[in-house]
Amino acid sequence: MLVLEKNAITEEIEESIKLHGNNRSALIPILQDIQRKHSHISDFAQQEVARLLDIHPVEVYSVVSFYAFLNTKPKGRNIVRLCQTITCDLQGKAAIAKAIERELNCKFGETTQDKKFSLEFANCLGMCDQGPAMIVNDKVYSHLTPEKAVQILSNIK
């Protein structure tokens, strides 16, 4: 990583700390800020957060590895999370997964070659009465059909 990039990340974290404070409990909001901006939390960013909050890097890594919405490796610009829990499964999640995989030529758990989409399964989204459901970035889509799912993804830049 270039020194300039490193300095930029440090500055961003310092900005986040001004907003959220430097208590241990500010860890998750700070990590979310980084995740939002860079779509991942790099090794260096984790160590910088640890230094600025005066905790150990492994504690930051422990938190990052615990939460499914935080990740250490770069992902696509848009993250598609399809609910895999039982009600959505019964309502036809498999067909939707297959349609999306065919459309994007990319398997679940992977990122498309143009880095536009990352596909993931998620556990219950709380939309059991309106399944199957998925989240694209921060937006929830319910009552999916294979055609509707493909349509939604094609509208995303």
Partner 1 sequence: MHKKEELRAPVSQKPHVVEKPENIDTIGGTVTLELNEKKVTVPLGTTILDACKENNIHIPTLCHHEDLCVAGVCRLCVVEVEGMRTLQASCAYPITSPIKVHTSTPMVRQARKHIIDLLISEHYGECYSCFRNNNCELQSLAKEYGVDHYNFGHIEKPRYEVDKSSYSVIRDMDKCVLCKRCVRTCIDLQEVGVLEAVGRGDQTRISTFLDKPLADVVCINCGQCINRCPTGALRANDPRDEIWEAIDDPKKHVIIQTAPSPRAAIGEEFGQEPGLSYTKEMTTALRRIGFDKVFDTNFTADLTIMEEGTELILRLYKALVEKDNSVKVPQFTSCSPGWVKYLEHFYPEYIDNLSSAKSPQQMFGALIKTYYAEKNGINPEDIVSVALMPCSAKKFECNRPEMHDSGFKDVDYGLTTRELAQMIKEAGIFLPEMPKSNFDNPFGEASGAGLIFGATGGVMEAAIRTVYELITGKNVEDFFENMNVTPVRGFEGVKYAELPITEVGPVPDILKPLVPNWDWVKGATLKVAVVHGTANAKKVMEDIKAGGKFSECHFIEFMACPGGCLGGGGQPIPTNKEIRAKRAQAIYNEDESLTLRKSHMNENVLRLYEEFLPEGPCSHKSHKLLHTHYTERGKYIA
Interface residues with partner 1 (CB under 8 A) are 21-24, 43-44, 46-47, 53-59, 61-62, 65-68, 72
Q: Compute the least distance from the CB of residue 138 to partner 1, in Å.
A: 22
Q: Compute the least distance from the CB of residue 25 to partner 1, in Å.
A: 9
For tokens 């937006």, what's the residue? 139
Q: Compute the least distance from the CB of residue 92 to partner 1, in Å.
A: 26
Rounded Cα distance between 13 and 82, Å, is 31
Q: Compute the least distance from the CB of residue 65 to partner 1, in Å.
A: 5
Rounded Cα distance between 73 and 55, Å, is 22
* Strand boundaries in the chain, DSSP class E: 78-83, 117-122, 134-136, 139-141
Rounded Cα distance between 29 and 64, Å, is 12
